[in-house]
A and B are shown apart, each in its own frame.
Chain A
Amino acid sequence: MSKIFHVNLNSATLPNPQVFEAAIRDHQVSNFSSLTAAFGNTYGLIPVATAANPTDRAISDMDDALALDNLKMLKASDQATDIELQSADSIENAASQAAPGSAPFLTAAAIVSGIHSQALTQKMLAAELRQEAARLAHRNALRKENAANTTQLRGVLVNLLQHQ
């Protein structure tokens, strides 16, 4: 299982995506700044104030922020998963040498590890909820913008027809 789990999955072919892919899959939490830089190199930066309207800039910033938040969180959770696997190995090794009277300690410890694992899953689900909610909110904001643009266009057309 360990061998299967550690098969290299990296698939990017160009320099910037390769750096970015390596950063998001390295299970390290000490290089968040490199991750942010690699993200910027691959997906670009937020437009400057004169290049886009404030709403678009803010939404784009929020999308990027949540994507980066989650990628950072996933690096941490990847490392936490490694630690969980170590814990599972330790418990299994201890169980192979346990006596009937010492087994309940190991069982209780395994259940506590299960609670940790669930908490970690919940953290990841919370991150997924934030990201999905932001995606939905983004699309909805475009819908609102469309409604505003349509209203504005209707007004312009009415004015135009009135002047003819």
Chain B
Amino acid sequence: MTKITDLLRTVKDWLFGHKLRAAILALVLVLTTPWPARAQFGLDPCCAMLAAGLASVQSALTSVVGGGLNQILGMDKAMQQFQQTVVWPQALINQAKSLVGLLQGNFKQIQNLMKLPVSSATLPASQQLEQVLLSRNPNQIAQTSGAYTALYGPVPAPTAASPQVLNMVDMTDAAAETAMKRAIEIDALADLELQAANQLNQSIQNAAPGSAPIIEAQADAWLIRANAYTQAATADLMRLRSIDLANASADIKMGATNTTNLRQALANLLEHQ
């Protein structure tokens, strides 16, 4: 408090001692004090000029830029309408989806048809092999050989037939057994394909119009896979028929050999008499 009083006293003394300087300082402060701004109702001529400029800008925006913008907006609306009525009409999309639902019913019928029990064997050995063959279960492939041998018998002992016959018998059994195992595999794969097709069909029913081609690509991949499995099955069928043909040929060859041997034996017999 004392300090403030001392300071005020010092200022007072300075002002009395420097009257001219104090007057100049007061004038400077008055001149540099901020003035209040003029409102729009003021009579300043710069307001009118400003209003005229703004009106000109507004006019330019409305007539030049606004017109262009309106055209863009109109075009945008027309494009939107074109897309809604011509490219993506909701009614036709719903119609396509309802068709997919209808097809789902057809697929279900086909799947049920393929699951109908068809087994027909009546004797134990044939029933056992038939059950394995119609199982559609890859885990039962290992049981094929046992059931096959129980029904069709094993390869004869080495002393029971010539090496050619033994080779032929073994190869034929192998081809037949392999084909039976492949048939179980193919049945199981076909079941998986049917499941995948059903899932894809459900995805199509729930798909957005733009995402349908993605599901289409997935379905294409499955179709390629299915074609490959069909080719594998066809290849096994061809192998089986090749073995059958080779067997028919081998029978002719062995017949010729046997005839030659018999002729030789008869000739020897006649010579000894």
Q: Which of A62, A123, A130 contacts B114 (CB 8 A)?
A: A123
Name the prevailing secondary structure of the A interface residues.
Answer: helix
Specify which of A46, A57, A120 lies most central, judged by the most chain B CB atoms within 10 Å of its CB: A120
Q: Which of A55-99 contact B (CB under 8 A)?
A: 55, 57-59, 61-62, 64-66, 68-69, 72-73, 76-77, 79-80, 83-84, 86-87, 90-91, 94, 97-99
Chain A proximity mask over B151-163: 1 for CB below 8 Å, otherwise 0? 1111110011100
Q: Given A97-B92, A132-B240, A122–B200 Cβ distance below 8 Å? A: no
A157 at the interface (CB under 8 A from B): no
Chain A proximity mask over B88-105: 1 for CB below 8 Å, otherwise 0? 110011011101101100
Specify which of A79, A108, A141 lies most central, judged by the most chain B CB atoms within 10 Å of its CB: A108
Which residues of B are found within 8 Å of A61, using beta-carbon distances? 121-123, 126
> Which range contains the number of A residues in contact with the other chain?
35 or more
Minimum CB–CB distance for B208 against chain A, Å: 10
Interface segment, one of B16-24, B67-75, B224-232: B224-232
Which residues of A are found within 8 Å of B116, using beta-carbon distances? 29, 72, 76
Specify which of B155, B161, B243 lies most central, judged by the most chain A CB atoms within 10 Å of its CB: B161
Output the nearest chain B residue to A150 by Cβ-Cβ distance: B161
Q: Which of B87, B165, B183 contacts A127 (CB 8 A)?
A: B183
Complexed CA–CA distance, A76 and B88 (Å): 39
Name the prevailing secondary structure of the B interface residues.
Answer: helix
Complex contact A58–B213 (CB within 8 A): no
Minimum CB–CB distance for A156 against chain B, Å: 15
Which residues of A are found within 8 Å of B213, using beta-carbon distances? 104, 107-108
Output the nearest chain B residue to A143 by Cβ-Cβ distance: B169
Which residues of B are found within 8 Å of A120, using beta-carbon distances? 110, 114, 190
A12 at the interface (CB under 8 A from B): no
Interface segment, one of B2-10, B53-61, B174-182: B174-182
Complex contact A129–B233 (CB within 8 A): yes
> Which range contains the number of B residues in contact with the other chain?
35 or more
Specify which of B168, B220, B241 lies most central, judged by the most chain A CB atoms within 10 Å of its CB: B220
Complex contact B152–A140 (CB within 8 A): yes
Complexed CA–CA distance, A109 and B202 (Å): 10
Which residues of A are found within 8 Å of B102, using beta-carbon distances? 90
Q: Which of B110, B179, B190 contacts A132 (CB 8 A)?
A: B179
Q: Given A62-B151, A108-B215, A125–B177 Cβ distance below 8 Å? A: no
A116 at the interface (CB under 8 A from B): yes
Complex contact B113–A111 (CB within 8 A): no
Specify which of B110, B165, B172, B184 lies most central, judged by the most chain A CB atoms within 10 Å of its CB: B110
Q: Which of B120, B154, B237 contacts A125 (CB 8 A)?
A: B237
B247 at the interface (CB under 8 A from A): yes
Complex contact B151–A58 (CB within 8 A): yes
| Other 16 A-B pairs with CB < 8 A, given A109-B96, A151-B161 | A46-B123, A62-B151, A64-B121, A72-B118, A83-B106, A101-B88, A108-B215, A108-B216, A112-B219, A118-B229, A120-B114, A121-B230, A126-B186, A129-B183, A129-B233, A132-B240
